[in-house]
Each structure stands twice: as structure tokens, then as C-alpha cells.
Amino acid sequence: MKTKQNAIIDINQLDKSMFEIVGTNIEAAERISTKPYSYWKSVFLRILKNPTFIISFTLLVVVVAMACSIGIGAYAVPVDSSFLNRNQAPSAEHWFGTGGFGEDLWTKVWIGTRTTLLFTLIVASIQICLGIIIGSIWGFYSRLDIMFIEITRFITLIPSLILWLVVIFLFGGNKSIAVITFAISITSWVGLASLIRVQIMLTKNTEYNIASKVLGTPGHKIIRKNIMPKILPIIIQTSSFAIPNAIAIDSLLAYYGFGFIAATSNKEASLGSILNELLSNTDWQTPGQRHLFVVPIAMVAGISLIFFLAGKVFADSLDPKTHR
């Protein structure tokens, strides 16, 4: 039987002209050979490839553009509206039909959408800013835990509606958008701050955060660099409900006569005041007048759904667990 033996090569017998000595390159050894990674670049690439986000964001841009352009300078209920034209079905002249005073619902709904979006933007911005700041301090610095618990307990003991009305009466019954926004902001941050507090308490004692503390990293930098990217998806997802919440608050205050849009105002409107006006009578139950119910409800539901879908996709793209 023949056996194949491994050949033994003597290094000294190799032709040295076939090799080139390059020496030691410390800089090249320390360099990472993979492509540079950017977290935010990866996030935006993900959302731009998602058809749900593209469609939702496009519709959102269209809604905002139409709300900012339709009905500028016009009255929600023009003084020359004919009562004889009230509650007419949608037509080529009136795309959304006419309302209970003969007004064009197309113009009125877009005026209300513009007012509601502005109100929501202000309320949501204050809610998110206060919620993030207070929740971060509350969750990271445990020595302040008792103080914040007592503050939130005092605020939540009082029903929100009662607290809002008290603030309005303290300002002399002023029902401007500034006063109502201030009243709502007193309580709106509690839910988001409590959520952020719990998330920070769950993540602040992980190994990399403990290592940052040992190395002397300031607390605000740990929160901003280490913790916030991890809980940002939860914040975005929670914030996507700002539109329906703002509309619900507007409708509730309008129902009790404390909305920032006066019931007797024919110049301004909001989606909340339109819904309240709709539910104050039974015209929409009459056959041929169902558009009075369908149009505002479809607008509210559509805008809420657009914000929810865009926020959900954005939140999922922000999740660090889906990144390398």
C-alpha cells in the first residue's frame, strides 16, 4: 500500500525575491475595515424604504398644506350664508355639502383642521418636553423619587376637567387658546413622565451605564447618549396619540361651554367644536343628511390614523434592537 507523506519545506530554501517585507503598520491594524455606521442614517434609510411611512407622511403633508391654504381669511360660517341651503348633500359646488347654517362644510372643516393642528402642536410639544425632562430627572435621580411621587399624586387626585376649569376661572374666565393650553399642560405631562421614569429605572443599572458612571460621565450625558436612544421609540409611539387626545379635550371643553372656540363664533372653528355642534342636534340622523356626521368623523379618524401609522413606523425604526 502506498502512502502519501506530507512534504516538509525549508523556509531558508525559498526564493526571497518572491516576497516583500512591508513592516508593521500600527495605524492600519487599529483601523476598522467595515463601513462606518451611522444610527440616524440607518433610521432614515429604514423609514424611506417603508411604503406605510411614505404613504402616511405624504398624506400628512397634503393635509397640512391644505389646512394652511384653504379658507385663509374666510369665515367658518359666512354672514351671507343662506339658511335655505342648510344641510345639503355633497355636490360639485359644495364638496362636503353644507352645514346647519348653510355654510360650506369644505371650508369650515379645513378651518377647523388648521385650528386643531395648531392646538395639538402646542399641547403635544409642551407635553413631550415636560414629560421627557421631568421623567428623566425623576427616573435617574432616585433621591427625588418621593418628591415627584407626591407632586403627581396631588395633581392626579384632582379630576383633570375640574383642574382645567379652575385654571380658566383663575384667569377671569379667559378661554383663549393660551389659557386652555396652560391648563392642559399642568396635567398632560404626568403620563409620559411616569412612563419614561419606569423605562429609565429599568435601564440605568445596565453594565454600560454603570461603566459610564465609574468613568465619571455626568448624569445628563448618560441620559442623553445611553438611555434616550433606547426609550425613544416608546416616546414617539406615545406621542402619536396627541391628535385624538387634543380633539377629545377640545370636544369635551366645547361641550361644557369652555372651549377656546366660542359657540357663537362664526369666524373660527375647530374639529372639536364641529363635532360638538354636530352632536347637539339630530339633523345628521335624517336620511340625505348623513354627510353631517360622516365628513367630520372621517376627517378626525383619518388624521388620527395618519399620525398613528407614521409614528408607529418611525418608532419601530428607532428601536436599537433592530440595528446592528
Q: What is the pLDDT of residues 248-273, one digit of tens each?
A: 787 778 777 777 887 667 788 888 88
Q: What is the mean pLDDT of residues 101-114?
A: 89
- Cα gap 124→175, rounded to integer Å: 19
* pLDDT value of residue 110: 92
- The span from the CA of 65 to the CA of 57, in Å, is 12
- Residue 256 CB: number of other CB atoms within 10 A? 11
Among 259, 240, 242, 244, which residue's Cα sits nearest to residue 161? Answer: 259
Comparing 13-17, 208-212, 288-292, the range with the smallest average pLDDT is 13-17
3-state secondary structure of 258: coil
Answer yes or no: is pLDDT of 167 > 70.
yes
Give one word for 176, left, alpha or beta, with left for phi > 0 and alpha for psi -120 to 50: beta
Packed helices 51-69 and 105-140: angle between N→C axes, nearest 10 degrees: 120
Confidence bin at 199 (pLDDT 50/70/90): confident
In terms of DSSP H, where are the helices of the chain? 26-30, 39-48, 51-69, 105-140, 145-157, 160-170, 177-203, 207-214, 219-222, 228-239, 242-255, 271-279, 291-318
- Residue 104 forms beta bridges with which residues? 98
Tell me the H-state helices in 204-290.
207-214, 219-222, 228-239, 242-255, 271-279
At residue 37, the pLDDT reads 66
Residue 49 has pLDDT above 90, yes or no: no
d(CA 219, CA 51): 39
For residue 66, pLDDT over 90 is answered with yes
Q: What is the Cα–Cα distance from 117 to 68, expressed in whole angstroms? A: 10
CB 107 within 8 Å of CB 71: yes
Mean pLDDT of 285-300: 83
Q: Which domains does the chain carry? A: 96-322 (1.10.3720.10)
